[in-house]
Amino acid sequence: MHVVVTGGAGFLGARLIHALLAGEATLDGEAVTRVTSIDLAPCPVEDARVESVAGDIADPALIRRALGEDTVAVCHLAAVVSAQAEADFDLGMRVNLDATRGLLEACRAHPKRLRFLFASSLAVFGPGLSQELSQPVAEAVGPRPRSSYGAQKAIGELLVNDYSRRGFVDGRVCRLPTIVVRPGKPNQAASSFASSIIREPLAGLDAVCPVDAQLPLWLSSPRAVVANLIHALTLPGESLGDWRTLNLPGITVTVAEMLEALERQAGSEVRSRVRFEPDAAIDAIVASWPGGLDISRPLALGFRADADFDAIIRAYREDALTS
Ligand SMILES: NC(=O)c1ccc[n+]([C@@H]2O[C@H](COP(=O)([O-])OP(=O)(O)OC[C@H]3O[C@@H](n4cnc5c(N)ncnc54)[C@H](O)[C@@H]3O)[C@@H](O)[C@H]2O)c1
């Protein structure tokens, strides 16, 4: 069985491809035998079963060529991330919105009803939700984004739902929490600091936190997110019912609690490498995201959350040792 992964060179895409080929996903009882990555960059997964197509997902011809007779699913992870989509409106619209619609159209033209997994974000929510509701944001609360990235993801979610309702695809929309700890270098996501304030101090480097210490964040480890994406892909579509959008499980942790966990895990000297320098532009984006979501439906469907933030740091350090 063949799966297409857009953004297969990215942080999550490469990990998802690895998990797909490690046999973690069976679709209708069959294992994944080949994967096509479509990304501007080459896919780093070294495996003969991976075809790495370097190109723009906004190119419909490229997408058509990638879909084969044995294709059963498309995992759509390629995106222009939050701060970049805010800085370059046209690029964000072209990649995050127009290309998503183009991809859905290509799936619609496929003879089979393909599974379509879409990586959305809690950026679809607007400011003040957690504070207004003073409780986790319920699934029924609709999107009211306050960033171009959030708007593009929200429209993408609605399109996947409508294409599913029409029977054009078998869609699954996962609203991902902020993922920490992301290895490597900072990226252009507004939430990039959430990884930096753990990763850099552990590597002996200084890090800057641009938001208030009391800001609650909705977080997940890469391990939990990839396991949840695989689960979303393999679930029978009917179990999701009419509404194909899920808030993937995360945990609510304030920046101060993250740093306390860092100190518990690595000592006060490591924790002292983080200094606070408020950045109004980053704060405006990140503080508009809810710090907690109601995940009763995803938990009942078998999705899982990390135990706590200490476990997230431990998993990062274990993965760093083995990679
Ligand atoms: N990491 C997070 O915390 C997080 C949180 C919420 C949602 N998401 C979503 O999850 C998905 C994956 O995130 P990630 O952290 O792996 O991001 P990433 O930036 O590591 O990967 C995205 C990939 O998309 C590719 N890409 C961008 N524009 C492209 C284009 N025009 N054509 C082809 N490829 C293109 C990039 O080259 C990159 O490899 C994204 O859709 C993102 O919006 C991530």
pLDDT digits 0-9 by tens, 30-47: 999 999 999 999 999 999
The answer to whether the CB of 218 falls within 8 A of the CB of 291 is: yes
**pLDDT tens digit string along 85-100?**
989 999 999 999 999 9
Give the strand pairing for 216-220 and 251-254. Answer: antiparallel
Half-sphere exposure of 170 (CA within 13 A, CB side): 18
Query: Could you tell me if 63 and 57 are in contact, meaning their C-beta atoms sit under 8 angstroms apart?
Result: yes
Query: What's the burial of 242, exposed, middle or buried (CB within 10 Å: 0-12/13-18/19+)?
Result: exposed
Of the listed ranges 122-131, 213-222, 301-310, the one predicted with least confidence: 122-131
Query: Do 192-217+251-290+306-322 and 2-177+221-247 have the same topology in CATH?
Result: no
Is residue 320 predicted with pLDDT exceeding 60?
yes
Can you give the residue ranges of every domain in the chain?
2-177+221-247, 192-217+251-290+306-322
Which of 80, 91, 121 has most ligand 1 atoms within 8 Å of its beta carbon, as the pocket-test mutant?
121
Statement: residue 78 has pLDDT above 70: yes
Q: Is the pTM of this model over 0.85?
A: yes
Does ligand 1 have an atom closer than 6 angstroms to the CB of 82?
no
Ligand 1 binding pocket includes 9 (Cβ within 6 Å): yes
CATH class of 2-177+221-247: alpha beta
Distance 156 CA to ligand 1 centre (A): 14
Among 11, 118, 125, 149, the one annotated catalytic: 149
Instruction: Give which of 147, 221, 212, 218 is closest to 181, Cα–Cα.
Output: 221
* Pocket lining: 179 vs ligand 1, CB cutoff 6 Å: yes
Q: Could you tell me the pLDDT band of residue 134, with boundaries at 50, 70 and 90? A: low
Q: Is pLDDT above 80 for 130?
A: no
Using one digit for the tens of pLDDT, what is the confidence trace for 271-296? 999 999 999 988 887 887 788 889 99
Residue 321 has pLDDT above 80, yes or no: no
- Report CA 268 to chain centroid distance, whole Å: 31
CA atoms within 13 A on the CB side of 2: 12
CA of 185 to the centre of ligand 1 (A): 14
d(CA 106, CA 157): 17
User: How high is the mean pLDDT of the chain?
Assistant: 93
CA of 268 to the centre of ligand 1 (A): 34
Superfamily for domain range 192-217+251-290+306-322: UDP-galactose 4-epimerase, domain 1 (3.90.25.10)
Q: Is 149 a catalytic residue?
A: yes
Predicted local distance difference test score (pLDDT) of residue 132: 55
